[in-house]
């Protein structure tokens, strides 16, 4: 997959979050979008995911040298972020069955195997609303990491994880980054230390208004 950003900019009212951002993301590489809280990392990720629209510039996707329409980009990506919610009325088994109706799993693993890889097999029949915050985050990550998509977007991926959870994340991102575009929005080293390239969103901040 290939994603091209050309002179991309986003503003809210008269305030530009970033501007004049030109960059190319390519399959087989991992990218860290860095910046302090509120700098625009999440905004850029939501634009790439198609959940948000840029104020100016162009964003294009291609897969196997064929263009992907922006409204179809969601079929090719997985996203996890603190602001995204799970369906808490589902049990874990129901959540996985629902998810895999839309996105198949990588490596041809079964739902049972995914539960085991997430360390949640004992919670198979437990309602997601009764999960701890760490269990919910591990579930979010497991669904994103193991979805069979060429684009993986991770916004603050270790939120609510303890040291064991962080080690789990690092292990499983290593197992699932090959052949994909992986983009991590973060300001914490252990979340993006595996990334090949870094993009500092503050390099595209402007101080004047237009």
Round to the nearest angstrom and report the end-to-end CA distance of the chain. Answer: 35
Architecture of the CATH domain 2-204: 3-Layer(aba) Sandwich (3.40)
d(CA 169, CA 177): 12
| Domain ranges across the chain | 2-204
H helices of the chain, in order, are 41-49, 92-100, 111-118, 133-145, 163-176, 189-192
- Phi–psi pair at 143, nearest 5 degrees: -65, -40
pLDDT by residue, tens only, the chain of 210 residues: 999 999 999 999 989 999 999 999 999 999 999 999 999 999 999 999 999 999 999 999 999 999 999 999 999 999 999 999 999 999 999 999 999 999 999 999 999 999 999 999 999 999 999 999 999 999 999 999 999 999 999 999 999 999 999 999 999 999 999 999 999 999 999 999 999 999 999 999 875 444
pTM over 0.85, yes/no = yes
């Amino acid at each position: 997959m290939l994603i091209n950003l050309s002179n991309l900019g986003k503003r809210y009212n008269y305030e530009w979050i970033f501007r004049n951002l030109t960059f190319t993301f390519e399959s087989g590489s991992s990218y860290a979008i860095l910046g302090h809280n509120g700098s625009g990392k999440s905004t850029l990720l939501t634009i790439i995911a198609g959940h948000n629209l840029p104020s100016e510039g162009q964003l294009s996707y291609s897969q196997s040298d064929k263009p992907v329409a922006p409204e179809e980009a969601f079929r090719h990506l997985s996203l996890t972020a603190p602001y995204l919610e799970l369906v808490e009325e589902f049990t874990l088994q129901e959540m996985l069955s629902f998810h895999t109706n839309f996105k198949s799993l990588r490596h041809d693993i079964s739902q049972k195997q995914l539960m085991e890889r997430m360390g949640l097999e004992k919670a198979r029949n437990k309602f997601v609303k009764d999960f701890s915050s760490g269990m919910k985050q591990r579930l979010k990550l497991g669904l994103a990491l193991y979805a069979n998509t060429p684009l993986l977007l991770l916004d603050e991926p270790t939120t609510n994880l303890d040291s064991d959870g962080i080690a789990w994340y690092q292990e499983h991102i290593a197992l699932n980054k090959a052949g994909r575009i992986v983009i991590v929005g973060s300001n914490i080293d252990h979340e993006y230390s595996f990334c090949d390239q870094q993009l500092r969103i503050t390099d595209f901040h402007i101080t004047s208004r237009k």
